Structure 1
Amino acid sequence: MRPLAIALVVVLMAAGCAAPRRDKITVACGAGEQWCAMMVKRFSDASGVEADFVRLSSGEALERIKAARERQEFDVWHGGPADSYVAAKGQGLLEPYRSEKAGEIRPGWADRENAWSGIYAGVLAFCNNTEELAERGLQPIRSWRELLDERLRGGVALAHPATSGTAYTTLWTHVELAGGNQDAALRYMRDLHPNVLRYNSSGSAAAVQAAKEEVAVGVVFSHDCVAAQEQGYPNLEVTFPQEGTGYELGGLAVLAGSHNPGSAREYVDWALSGASQRLGPLAKFYALPTNTNVPAHSKAADPATVKLVSYDVEVAGRAKQALVGRFGAEVAGPPA
């Protein structure tokens, strides 16, 4: 073969080897499986960027993101309470990004330094199985104090705060109800312990347990109980603690070390948009949207009618590691 022809072949081969691989992102998703699948598919349809997800509870997501910090396996973290995002920010795991949609997000529902943004809000509630409660001689639970009733021995579904954002929201709610006293909050959790069937790794599992009559009541975000009702479990009733309840601000962030940061930022822009935040009910997800252009669904919790504690996400996030450690040592070991 002539030298010129050989050179041409080498150039063409090099060009082929250097061709960029198909653009793709992987999302660590902290909401329900159906919602996660819908979100990544709709993003791909809208952008042409291939996307997949791994469903992880917030504690699991934080641990995997931290473990892979040198060779990050995810590009975006989407969903799950923002307390964990605050903890991740403190460990340098998030890549700050101010989205072009940032101005559409409700004031105070995003990190001031643009490390993460709120994507939805959910209110902590009791998911009551009215038949199971009636067999125990009880009405639907409407207060944290009622949850300690001896007739609920082994009848309460709750997750473990080491793995579940729902459970950490529950724990921090009691810190707030106790005026910031962590000892008092842990004392309440110890009193509740005999009534807990087992500590799940995922918060939303409590709604399923209540629906299937494994327990009489689950402590979940209200939209998880509503989703279970819509799956054909009519004996479920949502109530809210009369003393006051906490809420989650679901987070969204680009991860430090993302393999495709440009597409990760594109995902964040899309997820914060009004078009994206209108999709929740299609997956039976009735959390409150954070985009001011999207009205709350009629099945979402109404903050105007529910007594909410003053839940400081930043303070809760900074306290998480130590407080969860105390829960494991003083209340219950690792989740089942």
Structure 2
Amino acid sequence: MNALPRRRPNPLSCLAGSLLLTAMVSSAAQAAPSQQLIDAAKQEGMLTTIALPHSWCGYGEVIAGFEKKYGIKVNELNPNAGSGDELQAIKANKGNTGPQAPDVIDVGLSFGPVAKQDGLLQPYKVSTWDSIPDDAKDAEGYWYGDYYGVLAMGVNRDIYPESPQSFADLNASEYTNGVALAGDPRTGNSVMMTVYAAGIANGGKAGADALNAGIAYFKQLKDKGILVPVNGTAQNIAQGTTPIYFDWDYNLLAMRDKLDGNPPIDVVVPSDAVVAGVYVQGISAYAPHPNAAKLWMEYLYSDEGQLGWLKGYCHPIRFNDMVERDVVPQALLDRLPPAENYRKAIFPTLKAQSEAKTAVADNWAREMGVQ
């Protein structure tokens, strides 16, 4: 995140070069929350999160770090929920000040503007605001990018000693009953973007065109008996129920480390479609603990919080800014996959993702024969 003018390459459009986002070095990068905010958050005493599995982006350590730093209990709701479920949780708890009402959300990029439009978020600009790329945040502060990764395949090498390298490879009969998605693309952003990536690999251009091409691809896998009608999970890949499944690279890398060779897992970025995705944070407009929510955001966008995500293999949105200031330990940099795996990455725009969401809602059930 270099000291460059504010007009910089759009990190959410198609990129042929480096995956790294451009940003500015700012004095705000080392800013801290006010004592007044800290005191108000401590008085509230609790923060309610939703859809934050501890293995996702290193969230387990991030949550523990926040609790230790500020002494505020984190109440964790439904860690396996999808982005759509998070918005629904806000809607369903508008008048609820109890523990079932989420204070904050972490959703796929396309869900941020939807949540703002539906009046589900309140604006807040963290003290490190200026070092978040302009194209990865809402100008009014309703949502802001937090981290990104690329879609990849996790492969159980006990079952497939030679890992497939592309979406095209998976069409082979040797992968019968071998390929799975991590959920329903109508409710989970990572799954929708997996279908999108498959569409790009099969000639889809962008938006609905890519999504529909992806549906056609997975329908073909289903018709051939290759697609497993079971959600891909760490347990299922280890047991061989879903020996290949798609997810963000950071989730698969964390899973690989946790399994520790039992079984051995390959994490493969498909050579025919490298699709990156940005996730965003937002504070519920109905947050029962608004000050704790703001302090949580301050923590996530501090150097400490951003490094917490990097430990979980996610590229934090302020990554380049921190590299420029030499605050990223070399040991963390050495753990990241080779940069060449990401050089062909594309970042679907908000418009493309919005079109994809509409297409998957309209066509997935009909084409795949599911409810």
Instruction: Please report how far the alpha carbon of residue 171 of structure 1 lies from its aligned counterpart in structure 2 after TM superposition.
Output: 1.9
TM-score (norm 1): 0.80
On the 8 A contact 2:212/2:360 being kept in 1, the answer is: no
> 1:68-87 to 2 correspondence within 5 Å?
68-71=93-96, 73-78=101-106, 80-87=107-114
Aligned to 1:40: 63
Structure 2 Cα separation of the partners of residues 185 and 240 of structure 1: 17
Higher strand proportion? 1
Aligned to 1:222: 249
Instruction: Please report how far the alpha carbon of residue 322 of structure 1 lies from its aligned counterpart in structure 2 after TM superposition.
Output: 4.6
Instruction: Please report how far the alpha carbon of residue 207 of structure 1 lies from its aligned counterpart in structure 2 after TM superposition.
Output: 4.2
Over the matched positions of the two proteins, sequence identity in percent amounts to: 20
On the 8 A contact 1:86/1:317 being kept in 2, the answer is: no
Aligned to 1:13: none
Structure 2: segments with no counterpart, 5+ residues:
1-41
Instruction: Please report how far the alpha carbon of residue 229 of structure 1 lies from its aligned counterpart in structure 2 after TM superposition.
Output: 2.0
Residue type at the aligned position of 2:48 = T
1:59 to 67, 84, 94: 84
> 1:90-105 to 2 correspondence within 5 Å?
90-105=117-132
Match of 2:335, SS? coil
Aligned to 1:24: 46
Instruction: Please report how far the alpha carbon of residue 166 of structure 1 lies from its aligned counterpart in structure 2 after TM superposition.
Output: 1.5
- Listed one character per residue, the Cα deviations across residues 99-129 of structure 1 (whole Å, up to 9, x for unaligned) are 2111222453323342211111111011111
Aligned to 2:286: 257
- Listed one character per residue, the Cα deviations across residues 248-281 of structure 1 (whole Å, up to 9, x for unaligned) are 2122111111122222112111111111111236
Match of 1:154, SS? coil
Instruction: Please report how far the alpha carbon of residue 176 of structure 1 lies from its aligned counterpart in structure 2 after TM superposition.
Output: 4.5
Rate the CA distance shift 1:207–1:106 in 2: closer, same or farther, 3 A: farther
Aligned to 1:297: 333
2:346 to 309, 317, 336: 309
Aligned to 1:153: 176
Aligned to 2:22: none
Rate the CA distance shift 1:148–1:206 in 2: closer, same or farther, 3 A: farther
Asked which structure has the greater CA Rg, the reply is 1
Instruction: Please report how far the alpha carbon of residue 332 of structure 1 lies from its aligned counterpart in structure 2 after TM superposition.
Output: 4.6
Q: Tell me, yes or no, if structure 1 residue 278 matches structure 2 residue 307.
A: yes
Structure 1 Cα separation of the partners of residues 94 and 333 of structure 2: 38
2:160 to 133, 143, 152: 133
Structure 2 Cα separation of the partners of residues 163 and 154 of structure 1: 24
Instruction: Please report how far the alpha carbon of residue 320 of structure 1 lies from its aligned counterpart in structure 2 after TM superposition.
Output: 1.4
Aligned to 2:33: none
Structure 2 Cα separation of the partners of residues 84 and 45 of structure 1: 30
Tell me whether 287-296 or 270-279 shows the greater mean CA deviation.
287-296
Structure 1: segments with no counterpart, 5+ residues:
1-19
Residue type at the aligned position of 1:221 = W
Q: Tell me, yes or no, if structure 1 residue 185 matches structure 2 residue 214.
A: yes
RMSD: 2.6
On the 8 A contact 1:223/1:301 being kept in 2, the answer is: no
Aligned to 1:196: 227
